[in-house]
Amino acid sequence: MFSVAIENRITDTTAAEARKGKDIQGIPWDRLSISREKYRQTRLEQYKNYENIARSGELSEKECKVTQKGGLYYDFWQNTRSVKSTILHFQLRNLVWSTSKHDVYLVVHYSIVHWSSLCSKRSEVLNVSGHVAPCEHTSLSPNGKLLAIVGDNPDGLLVDSQTGKTIAPLCGHLDYSFASAWHPDGFIFATGNQDKTCRIWDARNLSKSVAVLKGNLGAIRSIRFTSDGRYMAMAEPADFVHVYDAKQGFEKEQQIDFFGEVSGVSFSPDTESLFIGVWDRTYGSLLQFNRRRNYMYLDYL
């Protein structure tokens, strides 16, 4: 993204430093020939979203929900440059929280083009071959009964995880999908697509998605819900992670703006922290945001 000549002068950034005006990634804008605002505009204008189906991102805009920007759910806490993703595949990005070791791991797959099955939690093996060819992502409902399957087809599927029988197709996306996630209530789930949208679904009525949420630059390639169901985060391939208030119908969002490829996102199990893996030759790091206390207080009112 920027010249590696200044890499050795980049340090970690704390919340206190950010409040005093330091860039959260440590980018020295005052020493560069371009301002942050100008560089952001250039990125928005020049970034090319990868599409398998031409104009999918453009054509999807008419269905997108108009959301209210300016939500403040998670505050910047720290940027750690010692944690970096070393492998980046453009299709699938994952960031995993380990509850046993209390660590965060960046997990990025080399290729999933030929995969036809995935292993799930609870030591089950779910055979999803024959449903979507190839399957790119699956997610199991909290009760283990339903499986959302997306892949190299605009339509996804909701499947009975025990029998493999298709319950219903998921119709609406205009390109290939690479992400899915379930809300802890077991009814609501989300899918992310190269048409730059995340669709929200209700398993009780799959005739139409509940909402269509729009990204800025490109495909939605990583989706996570908090364990309490209050918030949902969706990540674009680069520069943006959006956090929505799921409890309020996805009407309002917090837009987290930075520079670099997104390796993945993850909430901590207690919902206190949001982690964003950033891949960049110079500014690769792990961003941490912590839940705002005033919102936690309101949860109990």
Segment 49-86, tens digit of pLDDT:
999 999 999 999 999 999 999 999 999 999 999 987 76
Q: Which uninterrupted H or E stretch holds 240?
A: strand 238-245
Domains of the chain, residue spans: 4-116+126-299
For residue 163, count other CB atoms closer than 10 A to its CB: 8
Mean of pLDDT values over 188-197: 98
Helix spans in 125-223 (H):
none
- State how far the Cα of 268 lies from the Cα of 228, in Å rounded to an integer: 11
Q: Classify 141 as helix, strand or coil.
A: coil
Return the higher-pLDDT residue of 90 and 33: 33
Model confidence pLDDT, tens digit, residues 254-290: 999 999 999 999 999 999 999 999 999 999 999 999 9
147 pLDDT more than 80: yes
Q: Tell me the helix, strand and coil percentages in the chain, rounded to 5.
A: 15, 40, 45
How high is the pLDDT of residue 84? 79
8 A C-beta contact, residue 236 and residue 215? yes
Q: Which fold does the domain 4-116+126-299 belong to in CATH?
A: Lipocalin (2.40.128)
89 pLDDT more than 90: no
Return the higher-pLDDT residue of 154 and 96: 154
